[in-house]
Amino acid sequence: MRLRQHPSPNFGPRRGGATPRFVVLHYTGMISAAAALARLCDPSAEVSAHYLIEAGGGVLQLVDERQRAWHAGAGQWRGQGDINSCSVGIELDNLGTHPFSDPQMQALEGLLPQIMARWDIPPENIIGHSDMAPGRKTDPGPRFDWARLERQGLAARRGRLRRPAGAAPDFVAAAAQAGFTCPCRFEDLLAATRLRFAPWRQGPLQPDDFIF
């Protein structure tokens, strides 16, 4: 993993003495890593992340992990709001429309264990932006290889929670048990859980949607 320092001015103190409990993964959604870097370091944009991983595998640190980067916005995970104050944000150079490169995934796989060890973050708290903000965000998107992280213990393995299939209220309760607690429309919640666990699935609620 090639780590370079490129400080962004867009950060502040973590509120209430919070420390990182989560890692939030994003795609940049921009034409290049250079364009994303310029935005993440532009004071007028008021956005940032702790790390940016280039498609070629280079890793740039923009904000010290002890500080609050501005990457998550409104949302919630496991009942916790103000995710910026209790998370580390990682941006991946990708438009969200194509697979993430192997060098990029290898760099992520090198970075994540270090962050998890420093802050005692469990695999269940490695999440996507869409997990904490259903309906508002879709990154890291359907092309992100969550199963690859799961096999290495770097994300929660699908199937650890199984609830009997039922109606929409039962699904909402099952999703909340898995961590999806952000208030949102049912359709957005279903879409967010599928982005994380089954991006190929379409249509109305199905029994397999109750497996998290």
How many angstroms separate the CA atoms of 34 and 82, rounded?
Answer: 28
Q: Which residue has the tokens 């904000």?
A: 63
Please determine, for residue 28, whether its predicted confidence score (pLDDT) is greater than 90. yes
- Tell me what the mean pLDDT of segment 16-26 comes to: 97
pLDDT tens digit string along 57-67?
A: 999 999 999 99
Say how many C-beta atoms besides its own lie within 10 A of residue 115's C-beta.
17
Task: List Cα–Cα distances, 93 to 23, 39, 52, in angstroms.
Answer: 17, 13, 7
**Tokens for 26?**
């994003």
The per-residue pLDDT for range 137-148, each reduced to its tens digit, is 999 999 999 999
CATH annotation of 2-160: 3.40.80.10
91 as an active site residue: the answer is yes
3-state secondary structure at position 55: coil
Average predicted confidence (pLDDT) for the chain: 96
pLDDT at position 108 is 98
- The single-letter code of the amino acid at 59 is V
Provide the residue ranges of all domains of the chain, joining segments of one domain with +. 2-160
Total Cβ atoms within 10 A of residue 101: 17
Question: Count of CB atoms within 10 A of residue 70's CB?
Answer: 18
Beta strands in 110-149 (DSSP E): 126-128
Which of 46, 54, 65, 91 is flagged as catalytic?
91
Residue 160, token pair as written in the block: 């650890």
Q: What mean pLDDT do residues 155-178 have?
A: 89
* Beta carbons within 8 Å of 3's beta carbon, 6+ residues apart: 59, 60, 61
- Whether the model clears a pTM of 0.85, i.e. scores above it, the answer is yes
According to DSSP, residue 188 is labeled H
